[in-house]
Amino acid sequence: MDQYVGKLLDNRYEILDAIGVGGMAMVYKAYCHRLHRFVAVKILRKDLASDAEFRRRFHDEAQAVAMLSHPNIVSVYDVSRDQDLEYIVMELIDGITLKQYMKKKGGILSWREALHYMTQIMRALSHAHSRGIIHRDIKPQNIMVLRDGSVRVADFGIARVMSAAQNTLTQEALGSVHYISPEQARGSHIDERADLYSAGVVLYEMLTGRLPFEGDSPVSVAIQHISSIPLSPRELNPEIPEALEAITLKAMASNVDRRYKNAEEMIRDLEEFRKNPNINFGYEHHGLLQSDEPTQVIDTSITSSLSRRKVPARMADASNDLYSYDEYRTTSQRRIAERRPDQKRSSMVPIIAVVSVFLVAVGIFLWMFFFSDLFKAAESINVPRLIGRNYEEVLADTTITDHFVIKQTGTKASPDYDEGQIIEQDPNENSEVKGEKPEISVVVSSGKPSITMIDVRNMEYVQARQQLIDMGLNVKEPQYAPHDEIVKNYVIASLPPEGTPMAPGDSVQLTVSTGQAKKEVIVPYLVGNYTRQQAEEILRDKYSLKCTVSGEVYSDTVESGKVASQSIPGNTTVEAGTTISIQISRGPQNPSPKTKTIKINLPKDKDFVTVQVTVGGVEQFNQTVNTSNSPLMVDVTGKGKQQVNIYFDGEYNSGNEYDFDS
């Protein structure tokens, strides 16, 4: 049995079952005893939870993501610690990952379905980017597909935390290498356009059923993201409209300046295409990489410690004028462009030379990395303290900006710092970082908080909502949950809780009581099993149900004196206190049994179903059938008026009274 199943975290979350495993955590289904709802709990691996710096980053990122509220983003409810366990509490999603869904559909989705999913993914990214949060790890495994066709993007901010623990997460990070942007592979500064590249790879995979780059190792795949070009989606699947291919390739442009500037821009193109699939965007997609900076090999999140190396300038510029979207063709692994006839001979020699130099350089580098003791790590830089300094003054301080990229990731009210001062930084001061102009993310004070969250528990919802609005706060749509003590339409809890410093416009989530939870019981099978007295006692004493007797009937299948029928079939879930009406058998009557054929419409949401048919409570048919054979015709036999019930996989579906003598 799993070591965490049955454990109660923080005297609140009861772990029920393991539902998934990831590189950094196990995911469990749990029940929140405080808000009376099912949730997903992600428990960090113990080796990560023991790292104080990792825990700090983990908490900071989770707290930031918890502020996201969007129908296409998995909600984060809580982040906490119980003894030696670090965990996140999230919305429990009833669905499967996009990766699993594509596999279930044979690998390739129709372009209409791919458009439907990608539009929702981009809306999620647009919401997160507008709040300064970059996902960094967009891939089908982090996208959930629900039964209603909607999608939820999960694990926002986790990639940023994982990068802090790259020495222990190297193997886990490899699963994402097929989706990383070239700038991530190079270890360069990234912005929201890295997410757009990864989303483009996901769209490419949905449309073609394959990844744009494959290789024998993560390093080889990452290098292809930097220096290779994928096969045209339409050459892999001619049914893809040209405009959708253009959107895919623009999102996947190696040069960030050729990509969409932001998620909203890509959403506009997706919407224009949805309205008119024959639209021509007029984008040019160049056949080789046009880098905005010297090409470098992947950073430590992929290979643990690859240092940066430059590609010869002629190779980086080789595609500037010689290749276009309409000119390149495919080979078994990548596209080879056809040169114009007048340039074919003159350009072949330098290209062969450049490629040879590149291959030799890669070979030497790999030998040094795997076998040589001469390989040295990049020089470390000590991070200065920025907390307490004015953000604008830091941007103007060349002693800092000459060595670091300063990026504001958000604002937050602070009781300790004036407006404009930096209140958080990542990495922390005195941290050792490597690379050319590494990034320092900062949060800037929006001023000292002027609002303190009040206690609204056990307050009538309408009154609580209006009071919070009058304070200048934004009240989100309420969540509802049963509660044994708090009456219906009164507030159970608020997030954030009472006493939290807040600023005008901050959001508040209220949980409202639906009243006491109704006790439910399962009706027992009575027919043919119990006498009247036994049935009344069992229903009353064991199941908290009421019993009435509506009369006696003849029955060829149930012996005299026992229950011949019941108003609510056995195995049906009802509220406690429900009345069950029964009829008592008078034994058989003279007429010989007759046969009737009944038609059963089978369910459409499964491939096979076990069908059970009872006549007067006695089973006459029980078989597992293929639902494609719907409707199913079944012959049943009986005398006089008999109740015929139909069960699917042991659960009551329908029932009718038939007169076999008519």
Give the separation between CA 319 and CA 347, rounded to whole angstroms. 12
* End-to-end Cα spacing for the chain: 58
Q: How many helices (H) and strands (E) does the chain have?
A: 19, 33
Alpha helices per DSSP H over 341-440: 341-371, 391-396, 398-401
CA atoms within 13 A of residue 205's CA, in its CB half-sphere: 24
| Contact yes or no for 114/207 (Cβ under 8 A) | yes
Q: Say whether 338 sits in a helix, a strand or coil.
A: coil
Q: How many other CB atoms are there within 10 angstroms of residue 268's CB atom?
A: 12
d(CA 578, CA 521): 9
Task: Report the distance separating Cα 43 and Cα 35, nearest Å.
Answer: 20
Q: How far does CA 447 lie from the centroid of its chain?
A: 35
Return the DSSP state at 317: T
Cα–Cα dist 95/152, whole Å: 10
Q: Which residue has the tokens 């276009």?
A: 324
At residue 378's C-alpha, the angle toward residues 437 and 176, to 5°, is 80
| Catalytic residue, candidates 60, 78, 137, 556 | 137
Tokens of 47: 């080796």
Cβ count within 10 A of residue 467: 14
Q: In the chain, what are the helix, strand and coil shares in percent, each to the nearest 5?
A: 30, 30, 40
Among the listed residues 165, 139, 143, 153, the one whose alpha carbon sits nearest the alpha carbon of residue 86 = 165
SS3 477: coil
CA gap 617, 557 in Å, rounded = 8
- The candidate with the shortest Cα–Cα distance to 581, out of 605, 548, 542, 543, is 548
Length of the chain: 662
What are the φ and ψ backbone dihedral angles of 358, each rounded to 5 degrees? -60, -45
Residue 456 in contact with residue 468, Cβ under 8 Å?
Answer: yes
Q: Is 6 left (phi over 0), alpha (psi -120 to 50) or beta?
A: left
Whether 137 is a known active-site residue: answer yes
3-state secondary structure of 289: coil
The Cα–Cα gap between 536 and 58 comes to 58
> Catalytic amino acids?
137
